[in-house]
Amino acid sequence: MNPGQLVFAQLMQHLPLTTFRRCVARYSGHHKVKSFSCLDQFLCMAFAQLTFRESLRDIEACLRAQAAKLYHLGIRSRVSRSTLADANEIRDWRIYADFAQSLIGIARPLYAEEPFGVDLRETVYALDTTTIDLCLSLFPWAPFRSTKAAVRLHTLLDLRGNIPTFIHISDGKLHEINILDELIPEPGAFYILDRGFLDFDRLHRFHEAGAFFVIRAKSNLKAQRRYSHPVDRTTGLVCDQTILLTVFYSKQGFSEPLRRIKIRDAESGKSVVFLTNNFALPALTIGKLYRCRWQIELFFKWIKQHLRIKAFFGNSENAVKSQIWIAVSVYVLVAIIKKCLHFDVSLYEVLQILSLTMFERTALHQLLTLAPPEPNSTNSHNQLTLFEF
């Protein structure tokens, strides 16, 4: 890597530009485009994510202040907020969705051996949904309640490395349980779900595909106990049972036996009941797996705090989806660079450092190593001595 390059250019060197051009060609992204290319749009929006810009005017002001360096950033056109707004409005958001998926395909093998809290060789996913509230008068295409709008991010997170493998962006009215129809179950993988996804007909599709699920049971679950496995109550386990569903429609959807595990928290005294179609793992391991589901809640909190996905640069559906997918691309790109260059710093620290150094020419490995400064050996030992004896 050339240390004379700007930091932003060093980051963007890790982008698979050939794949990006294929995504642009797939959706005719350059149809009737004269100067401001899709790559220019992506780089401007990525710059906004990395430097925490809040509006198109912010992006324009910052980049015009460094107009002499735009070519070295990779931006080949003059940046104008009206041009950027038109690009976000018109150019197909699926360009950036497909490109983000290609980056995810690069990142996942890098984190394949990353530990996540449970000693398990199989892939473990957590599925959940987060809601971003919007103003109904500005975003009428995303109805949620009678007085407000919202977009929902339905996310499947690979718990090794916290890499999102599937994201579906919808309006606020789409119930999260419908996302199970969009997923293609991976045989042998574990899917950790909250009880909002409890639909036995849909879960049976995962069971038939050879995938395993761990989900919280609802309090009104009706089932018949077939067998009770011995448990050690000193560990917090209350029961480990093989059950059959008894309600007509539930039984129609899932007629095979299920495993019901009840665990009591020693600190709070509350009990939690899990359902799973895996009968091989120890009951305590099933409980630990579900506890790891909290990582997706932390992921949602992290991206809302450190990426620009709560305030949008455009009001149309295409602009909102383009901004979210470019934000996901930036998140995954930083994760790739962190792993490839073996940086021993968190993603939060990487983003904070990068936000202040986009126009510097320091090499990335030197910038993000965070080595302590060497002591100055030229200082005189008598510098603070008032009297010599």
- In this prediction, residue 372 has a pLDDT band, given cuts at 50, 70 and 90, of low
Looking at residue 370, its pLDDT comes to 60
CA distance 293 to 290: 5
33-37 long-range CB contacts below 8 Å, 24 or more apart?
35/76, 35/77, 35/78, 36/77, 36/83, 36/84, 36/87, 37/76, 37/77
Give the phi and the psi of residue 362 in degrees, each rounded to 5: -75, 140
- In this prediction, residue 382 has a pLDDT band, given cuts at 50, 70 and 90, of low
Instruction: Kindly tell me if the per-residue pLDDT of 284 is higher than 80.
Output: yes
Polymer length of the chain: 389
Instruction: Kindly tell me if the per-residue pLDDT of 286 is higher than 50.
Output: yes
Which tens digit of pLDDT belongs to each residue from 180-205? 999 999 999 999 999 999 999 999 99
Cα dihedral value 72, 360, 329, 111, nearest 10: 120
Cβ pair 214, 192 in contact under 8 A: yes
Question: Cα 259 from chain centroid?
Answer: 30
Domains defined along the chain, listed by start: 7-96+311-367 (no CATH), 118-299 (3.90.350.10)
215-218 long-range CB contacts below 8 Å, 24 or more apart?
215/274, 215/275, 215/276, 216/272, 216/273, 216/274, 216/275, 216/290, 217/260, 217/273, 217/274, 217/275
Average pLDDT over residues 144-165: 93
Average pLDDT over residues 8-14: 93
Cβ pair 88, 314 in contact under 8 A: yes
Predicted TM-score (pTM) of the model is 0.90
Looking at residue 389, its pLDDT comes to 44
Which tens digit of pLDDT belongs to each residue from 25-71? 999 999 988 889 999 999 999 999 999 999 999 999 999 999 999 99
Name the more confident of 372 and 301: 301
CA distance 258 to 98: 37
Which tens digit of pLDDT belongs to each residue from 222-245? 999 999 999 988 888 999 999 999
Tokens of 282: 């120890």
CA distance 97 to 387: 71
CA distance 194 to 297: 11
Looking at residue 364, its pLDDT comes to 87
Looking at residue 1, its pLDDT comes to 46
What residue type is 96 in one-letter code?
Y
Which tens digit of pLDDT belongs to each residue from 242-282? 999 999 999 999 999 999 999 998 787 889 999 999 999 99
Instruction: Kindly tell me if the per-residue pLDDT of 357 is higher than 60.
Output: yes
Tokens of 355: 């936000």
